[in-house]
Structure 1
Amino acid sequence: MTFFAAFPARIKMFIAKRGFAKLTDAAKAAQSVARPREPIGRQVVHGDQSRDVRVTRLPNDLTVISEDSNIPVTRVVVAVKAGARHEPPEVPGLSHALRNAAPLGTRECSAFGLSRNMEQLGASLSATTTRDHIIYTMNVHRNHLPETIKFLGYVVAKQEFKRWEVKDAAARLDLDLDIYEHRPDIQLMEHLHAAAYRDGLANSLFAPRWAAHHYDAKMLREYVQSAFKPSRMAIAVYGARHEDILNYAADNFKIDYGYMKKPMTEFEECAPEMHTLQQLPKEHGTNAQHRDIPAKYGGGQCFHQTLDHLAYAAVAVEGAGINNPKEALALSLLQQFLGSEPSVKWSNGQKVSPLAKAAAGATREEYAITGLNICHSDSGLFGFTAVAHGKDIAKVVQAGLHVLREGKGVDLQRLQEAKNKLVAKLLMHHESRCEQFHDMAIQALSTGNIMSVNDAVAIVDQIRPDDLAKYAQSLVQKGTFSMAAVGNLSHLPRLDEFV
């Protein structure tokens, strides 16, 4: 939940250093932090001067992105390249445990102090994980930013991982896994990545059930020491002066964990026999420098039978990553062309797309089929997802594969319709400047450059029918499909059985 409130000055008493700070001390500290200083680092300005996005790389390689505005609420996004793909292979699910450890005590503030101070200052803090990043997001009234941002710095840069707190946090892992087991749509995406990739992108966003209660403080501490480096982080702020943000970042995000000198701590006698972990050689552990391994697409299939009358299936080939924005946008346009979710909820408008038309000719029962385009930092997945009754899912998947493989010419009218949909989707997504800054932090870490929404729209407008047809043909020529399915799979053939 998010609460925004302007608290009177008389209750600006907050908990720090595991105790209570006097009001006068707190006020002095806030004033000293808020005092403007000279800008630090190399600066780049994006956009017009009246409403510009400014980017600075600090001397320690920490990237800071900001835009000032007169909005009353400031959003701070801290993205770190420490998602599921960066987990050491001997400790699966570690990023999930790290996300759940966000509200735990730090070296400067207890867990109670963190929660209490955030509430008193009217702030909210959340942590999310992707396969590439772990992202911390804070919302606060801009008048309270000087006092609040240091607590975000505690969460990101001064984590402590007390043994008893890590043990208690395992209950939240159980809750996440319970929800995951009742969400076949989420399971489908996890299985699709496991089938498609041969590297860290195959790692699940969720911890294995058997490991949920066996993560310890030492494992989390070693992972943070290896992955949380200033060069692997970006801070994006919407609603504050750039000079102030540079000072806050320099003061509150001083990360100096040192370097690892031994392999990552592995599970010890905690896994059941059916999930025995191999003892890997030392060179496979976390090294002194955390290295990013390029994505390796292989293709394959992963099926998970459950007690359900529906079947969920996804078929994909390797697509484009964020590091190739032109191709990624072209594939997003191709996704809209083949068929996306209906613009009007519960409507039949979906049946005009090529995918939906093909599926409608294959079954008279209810179904849903949409294009799929997932972009990671250096790779992606493009294809379609389908839901149908167990006895009809094979026909729907066959129809979708036929649309992907046939590579017919692109109709100019349909292309313009797809462009209108994609442009509207891009603009509506970035209607919230806060969401745009979330994307900017990801782009800064993935490519080192930031593309504005106007640049993205311009690229989409320049795509011609011949260009889209070439992208579609190149996907088919790659030839290696991946497939995942969850639910009632009694009538679903394996991937090699589809013609």
Structure 2
Amino acid sequence: MRGIQSLHRLSKRCYAAARRSEALTEPYASHKTAPTAPLTAQDVQVSKLPNGLVIASLENYSPLSTVGVFVKAGSRYEPAENQGVSHILRLAANLTTKGASAFKICRGMEAVGGSLSVTSSRETIVYSVDCLRNHLDTVLEFLVNVTTAQEFRPWEVAELTSRVKIDKALAQQCPQIGVIEKLHEAAYKNALSNSLYCPDYMVGHVSPEQLQSFVENNFSSGRMALVGVGVKHSTLRQLGEGQLSVRRGAGTPTAKAVYRGGELRMQNSDSLVHTLVTCEGGMTGTTEANAFSVLQRILGAGPHVKRGSNITSKLSQGIAKATTQPFDAISFNTTYSDSGLFGVYTISQADSAGEVIKAAIAQVTGVAEGNLSEADVSRAKNQIKAEYLMSMESSEGLMEEMGAQALATGTYQAPETFLQSIDTLTHADLVKAAKKFVDGKRSMAASGQLINTPFLDEL
């Protein structure tokens, strides 16, 4: 404290002693900045390395860099004896690797202000990092470690059991998740029927050897895509040719999903009945999938104003005429690389479940019969195009779209291509999609007090 107090005894006059005879604004008036080259906008660059790894990047000169590794290792690739391994693998992303301990990964990411996150779906696991551009080398080292140098230590894997139970408990508290999971189980014979969550009989029984086997079979360069936003393409290419080429090849062949149709009902004491009725939809990137996406907006995909009512929804309009009890209804649509699901999701009181479900299906039947105006089609097209463009305004959304395309096709199509594909859809395409729901083989999942909920063959 004595040294700090002595600073106050310095004369304030010494700060300006060297500038007594000169104006303070003089240096700024005479200073000339060095000319800099203007930054030119760049397009997304995509390349495929000889080892099979696809690299996609967009240099937007942002001070923040976002890099992700997309892997075809979702729950659909789990063998029968390894059910739930992808769930455990997602939670194990921050465990000790061959090149860094769990503490080093956590401390190192915090030291540079970065973040590491892992998300999974039925088809992919995505490891993504965010950091300031000048710390990219440090963060990429950790990204490589968690994707190519996994080391599943038994005591660390055992400690994941409590986190798995918490995940499952939170999922069970959400009826929507339960209905969607049961729908996939009823709709498919294999692959896509696998749940995103570890089944009860496997909780605490997934061994380090099973995790390592799954990684070796699926985390190969031919099943991965390296994607970056705010980073040079040459940087990612150098990373892909070096550290990410540990496992070469296409990995284990994937089984094609087989749609079968079916019904699963979960009777419980909930006063609200959640019901999901679907048919097989379109594969990702096809004209049929685009038609189902537009049809989803026509029927109603949820309110577009916070806490607002979906007044343009055909489902809401139709069901309101059939019952006076409260309800909620949206159109459901999801796509995969080799299949998809499209249908209607309803939430209602147990007494009025039958009326609500039948009224919702009647609205799809009406579209299949041609009760569809050009104004409805135009509005739905505008909605889906606006949603698509707004989803790509953030670095995370843009990277997700780039990664999905790079992993599926090895290329990238500009947003204009998607917008044109939506514009080319005709009235007949949408009617055809609705007819597939009406005439096709359906699947159904329901949860709640199902005494007044009709069975699938009664719809």
* Conserved 8 A contact 2:46-2:412: no
Distance 1:185 1:247 in 2: 43
Instruction: Quote the residue 1:39 is aligned against.
Output: none
Instruction: Quote the residue 2:446 is aligned against.
Output: 485
Note the C-alpha offset of 1:300.
0.4
User: Is 1:380 matched up with 2:371?
Assistant: no
Note the C-alpha offset of 1:408.
2.7
Secondary structure of 1:102's counterpart equals helix
Distance 1:240 1:199 in 2: 39
* Conserved 8 A contact 2:92-2:157: yes
User: Is 1:172 matched up with 2:168?
Assistant: no
* Conserved 8 A contact 1:77-1:138: yes
**What letter corresponds to residue 204 of structure 1 in structure 2?**
S
Q: Which moved more, 1:189-198 or 1:425-434?
A: 425-434
Secondary structure of 1:78's counterpart equals strand
Instruction: Quote the residue 1:391 is aligned against.
Output: 351
Distance 1:383 1:144 in 2: 46
Which whole-Å deviations, capped at 9, do the CAs of 1:175-198 have from their partners, x for residues lacking one?
101101101111111011111111
Distance 1:147 1:156 in 2: 15
Which whole-Å deviations, capped at 9, do the CAs of 1:293-348 have from their partners, x for residues lacking one?
111111001111222110111010000121x4322222111111111201112223
**Looking at CA atoms only, which structure, 1 or 2, has the larger radius of gyration?**
2
Note the C-alpha offset of 1:247.
1.0
**What letter corresponds to residue 295 of structure 2 in structure 1?**
L
User: Is 1:442 matched up with 2:404?
Assistant: yes
* Conserved 8 A contact 1:192-1:302: yes
**What letter corresponds to residue 171 of structure 2 in structure 1?**
Y
* Conserved 8 A contact 2:48-2:410: no
Instruction: Quote the residue 1:356 is aligned against.
Output: 316
**Matched-pair identity in %:** 36
Instruction: Quote the residue 1:413 is aligned against.
Output: 375
Instruction: Quote the residue 1:112 is aligned against.
Output: 103
**What letter corresponds to residue 179 of structure 2 in structure 1?**
L
Which whole-Å deviations, capped at 9, do the CAs of 1:32-64 have from their partners, x for residues lacking one?
xxxxxxxxxxxxxxxxx8321001111211111
Note the C-alpha offset of 1:480.
0.4
Which whole-Å deviations, capped at 9, do the CAs of 1:350-396 have from their partners, x for residues lacking one?
24322112211221111110111101121100111111111111111
Note the C-alpha offset of 1:254.
2.9
Distance 2:232 2:417 in 1: 25
**What letter corresponds to residue 456 of structure 2 in structure 1?**
L
2:252 to 281, 290, 297: 290
Instruction: Quote the residue 1:54 is aligned against.
Output: 45
Gaps of 5+ in 2: 1-39
User: Is 1:329 matched up with 2:286?
Assistant: no
Gaps of 5+ in 1: 1-48, 259-287
Q: For residues 175-324 of structure 1, what are the structure 2 equivalents within 5 Å? A: 175-256=166-247, 289-322=251-284, 324=285
* Conserved 8 A contact 1:55-1:63: yes
User: Is 1:467 matched up with 2:458?
Assistant: no
Distance 1:184 1:471 in 2: 28
Distance 2:80 2:365 in 1: 35
**What letter corresponds to residue 369 of structure 1 in structure 2?**
A
Note the C-alpha offset of 1:214.
1.0
* Conserved 8 A contact 1:351-1:360: no
Note the C-alpha offset of 1:159.
0.2
The structure with the largest helix share of the pair is 2
Note the C-alpha offset of 1:257.
8.3
**What letter corresponds to residue 430 of structure 1 in structure 2?**
M
* Conserved 8 A contact 1:329-1:456: no
* Conserved 8 A contact 1:315-1:482: yes
Instruction: Quote the residue 2:362 is aligned against.
Output: 402
Distance 1:166 1:208 in 2: 16
Secondary structure of 1:256's counterpart equals coil
Root mean square deviation of aligned Cα: 1.6
1:370 to 301, 318, 330: 330
Secondary structure of 1:313's counterpart equals strand
**What letter corresponds to residue 131 of structure 2 in structure 1?**
V
The two structures have a TM-score, normalised by structure 2, of: 0.88
Paired residues, what number? 418
Secondary structure of 1:392's counterpart equals helix
* Conserved 8 A contact 2:46-2:55: yes
**What letter corresponds to residue 356 of structure 1 in structure 2?**
S
**What letter corresponds to residue 184 of structure 1 in structure 2?**
P
Distance 1:447 1:304 in 2: 38
Secondary structure of 1:218's counterpart equals helix
Instruction: Quote the residue 2:8 is aligned against.
Output: none
1:132 to 123, 136, 139: 123
2:302 to 341, 344, 347: 341
Gap change, CA 1:289 and 1:73, over 3 Å in 2: closer
Instruction: Quote the residue 1:476 is aligned against.
Output: 438
**What letter corresponds to residue 396 of structure 1 in structure 2?**
V
Distance 1:305 1:242 in 2: 53
Secondary structure of 2:331's counterpart equals strand
Which whole-Å deviations, capped at 9, do the CAs of 1:156-189 have from their partners, x for residues lacking one?
0000101111011111101101101101111111
Q: Which moved more, 1:291-300 or 1:407-416?
A: 407-416
* Conserved 8 A contact 1:386-1:397: yes
Instruction: Quote the residue 1:68 is aligned against.
Output: 59
